[in-house]
Amino acid sequence: MKLKEYLKVYNLTSKEFAKKLDISVVTISRYMSGERFPSKNILKKISKNTEGFVTADDFKNLDKEKVLEIKDKHEIDKLAQQIKNGSRRDLAKAITMVESFLYEDKQKTEELISKFKEKKNSLRIGITGVPGVGKSTFIEALGLYLIHLGLKVAVIAIDPSSQVSGGSIMGDKTRMEKLSINPNAFVRPSPNRGHLGGVSRKTRESIMCFEYADYDVIFVETMGVGQAETSVYNMVDIFLVLLLPSGGDDLQGIKKGIIELADILIINKSDTMLKEAAENTLIDYKNALSIIQSVREDVNPCVLKCSALNKEGIKEIWDQIKVFERNRKKTRSFQNNRISQNNNWMWELLYQNVNDYIENEIKGKKLSIEIKKKMNEKKLNVVKAANLLLTSFIKKI
Ligand SMILES: Nc1nc2c(ncn2[C@@H]2O[C@H](COP(=O)(O)OP(=O)(O)OP(=O)(O)O)[C@@H](O)[C@H]2O)c(=O)[nH]1
Ligand SMILES: [Mg+2]
């Protein structure tokens, strides 16, 4: 860890730290800027005073990094400003950068996100349901209604996408034709790259970009497969589960676990011949909810019906969402939920980064290949081999 970063975490000034080492503040500034390299003796003292987190490696190439940083920082400053000014082109550019897995883009994303301040009055809404239930049609109907109310709407549609190319295959298949061309809306299909069965690793960063660009409501549409729902649930304020009208007594193929996450269960396609079936399904789920315990403590989930296609029942759903929002803000559970989501996100990112590090920096190294060879020759058992890799590389992470 760089000394500068260490001091920042502990709110220590260079002067205070210099005193601990018994050196002048000028000297410590030179170490931090890369102008001078600390002696062995000083390095020992630094290590002792930083729980071993700041080592000799952290003082190498500091001057080179700085030149790169200034150039990139300038570019990112400009990008952030353009997003704030409402440039759609730059917003799209930022999201592409955020979604990128290139090391350089990752660094730029970190810089960009550090510029963002949390938009206090945004609302993040997750929407899930089996394929074809009408999620996109519903978002289009509700989105257009919200724009009519004067709000700006963003949609992140998580793409089932080819894991092979890693690209987005949904493209024009998002079925939000009117919303996607509205100047107060931004529809973004997002490739999932096989993470958690359908949720893009970068969805949270994209949400932040939209909020910085002053979008009021951000929808996240997920495919309703695997663990995707839980993952989206953990990044939104309100979670909606769309259901189909069914024949009556069966509670569809949807997992009970998903019902427990829902704030509102919505029976869609309550129109034409399905109207009566929708009414029966509504009653079934109302009964089911009386015996299902919601995951969130202060939530009394409810069931509503609508026809996304005919735009019926949309206002009632929005009114209910606003009731949830108001009540939770009153009890502060809304704010507390965001704080705990943020904490979980930090750990999640750490796991992801360690995973990336193993993939990119450890697996291909000569030492790893050699250890693997020894293991295959039965000269090293698998547990020992894994531990050896861990202890060899952990110092470098
Ligand atoms: N009758 C009726 N059809 C609807 C309604 N909502 C959506 N549909 C139709 O259902 C089909 C699927 O709708 P989508 O909105 O694409 O469903 P989705 O859940 O987003 O589908 P995936 O993204 O593939 O999971 C389309 O043909 C829609 O026109 C509705 O309220 N009533
Ligand atoms: Mg869809």
Q: Is residue 270 part of a domain?
A: yes
Q: Measured from the CB, is residue 135 less than 6 Å from ligand 1? A: yes
Distance 153 CA to ligand 2 centre (A): 16
pTM, two decimals, is 0.83
195 and 289 both lie in a single domain: yes
Ligand 1 atom 28, closest CA? 134
Kindly state the DSSP code that residue 158 receives in the 8-state scheme: E
Angle at 325 between CA 322 and CA 330, to 5 degrees: 125
Contact of 267 with 306, CB cutoff 8 Å: yes
User: Do 132 and 154 lie in a common domain?
Assistant: yes
Say if residue 232 is in the same domain as residue 291.
yes
Residue 118 belongs to some domain of the structure: no
Ligand 1 pocket check for 177: Cβ under 6 Å: no
- Ligand 1 site-directed mutation target among 242, 309, 314, most atoms within 8 Å of CB: 309
Residues 200 and 309 in one domain: yes
Q: Which domain holds residue 274?
A: 123-329
Same domain, 38 and 108: no
Rounded CA separation 369/4 (Å): 35
Distance of CA 47 to the CA centre of its chain: 34
Residue 173 lies in a domain: yes
> How many C-beta atoms surround the C-beta of residue 254 within 10 A?
20
Q: Based on the fold, state whether residues 259 and 303 are members of the same structural domain.
A: yes
Q: Which residues surround ligand 2, an ion (CB under 5 A)?
A: 135-136
Q: Is ligand 1 within 6 A of the CB of residue 328?
A: no
- Whether residues 131 and 109 fall in one domain: no
Report the distance separating Cα 337 and Cα 257, nearest Å.
19
- Tokens, residue 93: 């550019």
- For residues 352 and 318, state if they share a domain: no
- pLDDT tens track of the chain, all 397 residues? 889 889 988 999 999 999 999 999 999 999 988 888 999 999 999 999 998 888 888 888 766 655 557 778 889 999 999 999 999 999 999 999 988 878 788 888 988 998 898 788 999 999 998 888 999 999 999 999 999 999 999 999 886 654 444 444 444 455 788 999 999 999 998 766 555 444 567 889 999 999 999 999 999 998 766 667 788 999 999 999 999 998 544 555 556 678 888 999 999 999 988 888 899 999 988 888 887 776 676 778 899 999 999 999 999 999 999 999 999 999 999 999 999 999 998 998 888 888 888 888 888 888 899 999 999 999 999 999 999 898 887 765 4
CATH number of the domain that 42 lies in? 1.10.260.40
Same domain for 266 and 170: yes
The CA–CA distances, whole Å, from 155 to 51, 136, 139, 283 equal 45, 9, 8, 31
Same domain for 164 and 211, yes or no, is: yes
385-394 contacts, C-beta under 8 A, 24 or more apart: 389/362, 392/367, 393/361, 393/362
Q: How far is the CA of 357 from the centre of ligand 1 (A)?
A: 41
Q: How many domains does the chain have?
A: 4
Q: Whose CA is nearest to atom 25 of ligand 1?
A: 131
